[in-house]
Amino acid sequence: MENRELTGKFYDIQGFSVHDGPGIRLTLFMKGCPLRCPWCHSPESQAFPSELNWMEIKCVGIEKCGNCLNVCPQDAITPGKMKKTPAGDEEITLVTVDRSRCDNCGKCAEACTSKALYMCGTDYTIDDIMERVRRDIPFFKKSGGGVTVSGGECLCQPEFLLEILKTCKAEGIHTAVDTTGFAKWDVIEPILPYTDLFLLDLKGVDPQLHKRIIGVSNELILENAKKMVAAGAKFQIRIPVIPLYNDSVKAFNEMGEFIKELGDAVEVVQLLPYHSLGTVKWERLQKNAPILEATPPSDELMQARKKQLEDMGLSVIIH
Ligand code: SF4
Ligand code: SF4
């Protein structure tokens, strides 16, 4: 029986995903994450509450619109800088959001028909989610796909996550959970019987370095991975390849050794090269992106690290 009271907060839902598990998948991105990876390309996933985003390019200017100016209970929105229109024949006045006053109530986003101001983070009930999931069942059946619950860190909304997984399994839908593995065992254990596959991030094995760069130690993550294997979980391991952090031969040897300890539970290792496409998303939140002195790794480096892990007996793909 579906729980009609419970809600989960999501920042995105993407159909036709082909990199989040087998076949064609519906990927559900839950909001909120306890880690702070400086290379995060989905900064809108980090905070737990819904947040106001600002996409300057969509604002048509207060001369033609100005709908947002008088709706803010906090008086956080005022006329801002001038800007030439893309055609360059007109000047418009944008708005400024004073983030120190904004409490993310969303009233301005409701008023902004251009979607220059929009909220990120939507609450769904299980019925809402399953209604969306069921639309894609024909694609799942044709391709051997299913549902992947991702984030943020979906283990931070454990009740809703468990309910989605249970409901999907009851309807014969393949389930995957994309996770950092950073959660109490009490949260992970209940979802094991309803999760066909875990997509587990592995960002490094050195606990001090992990804590210094990401904000939390990885000891809990590594311990959870071993316990999950003992409980019969299946894995795809995802390694974000970050220059100057975890791209060295030494770091890959350490990660390879750890993955080998997980044995046959690991179907494949995916290498995800760092990219800087998330920068624009930090701008929309009007937050400073963390300083990360990294450029995307070269093809040669990616191939070398792939071969390094393959030489250790692992099956590896590059995304
Ligand atoms: S989200 Fe609410 S508080 Fe923030 S700027 Fe918009 S109307 Fe004002
Ligand atoms: S409501 Fe939207 S489009 Fe209109 S002035 Fe405000 S931000 Fe710009």
Last residue of a domain, one of 119, 146, 171: 119
Cis before residue 23, ω within 30 degrees of 0?
no
CA of 185 to the centre of ligand 2 (A): 46
Point out the ligand nearest to the CA of residue 51: 1
Please indicate, yes or no, whether residues 62 and 32 belong to a single structural domain of this protein: no
**233 domain residue, yes or no:** yes
More confident residue, 71 or 293: 71
Please indicate, yes or no, whether residues 282 and 243 belong to a single structural domain of this protein: yes
Point out the ligand nearest to the CA of residue 286: 1
At 277 the pLDDT is 78
Considering the chain, what percentage of its residues have pLDDT values greater than 70?
99
Ligand 2 — pocket residues by CB below 6 A? 59-60, 62, 65-68, 95, 111-112, 114, 116-117
Mean pLDDT of the region 33-38: 93
Please indicate, yes or no, whether residues 81 and 178 belong to a single structural domain of this protein: no
At 4 the pLDDT is 54
Q: Which residue has the tokens 């939390």?
A: 216
Please indicate, yes or no, whether residues 24 and 80 belong to a single structural domain of this protein: no
At 1 the pLDDT is 47
Mean pLDDT of the region 73-96: 92
Mean pLDDT, rounded, of the chain? 95
Please indicate, yes or no, whether residues 39 and 166 belong to a single structural domain of this protein: yes
pTM: 0.92
243 contact partners, CB below 8 Å, separation of at least 6: 274, 294, 295, 296, 297, 301
249 contact partners, CB below 8 Å, separation of at least 6: 308
Asked whether the CA dihedral 132, 136, 141, 146 is positive or negative, the reply is negative
Last residue of a domain, one of 63, 98, 119: 119
Mean pLDDT of the region 83-104: 91
CA of 105 to the centre of ligand 1 (A): 5
More confident residue, 252 or 89: 252
Point out the ligand nearest to the CA of residue 114: 2
Say whether pLDDT at 3 is over 80.
no
- What is the per-residue pLDDT across 195-227, written as a single tens digit (0 to 9) for each? 999 999 999 999 999 999 999 999 999 999 999
Please indicate, yes or no, whether residues 14 and 141 belong to a single structural domain of this protein: yes
> Among the listed ranges 167-176, 233-242, 290-299, which one has the minimum average pLDDT value?
290-299
96, 117, 118, 119: residue to mutate for ligand 2 pocket, most atoms within 8 A of CB: 117
Ligand 1 neighbourhood includes 108 CB (under 6 angstroms): yes
Q: What CATH number does the domain containing 100 carry? A: 3.30.70.20
CA of 46 to the centre of ligand 1 (A): 19
Q: Which domain holds residue 38?
A: 7-49+122-318
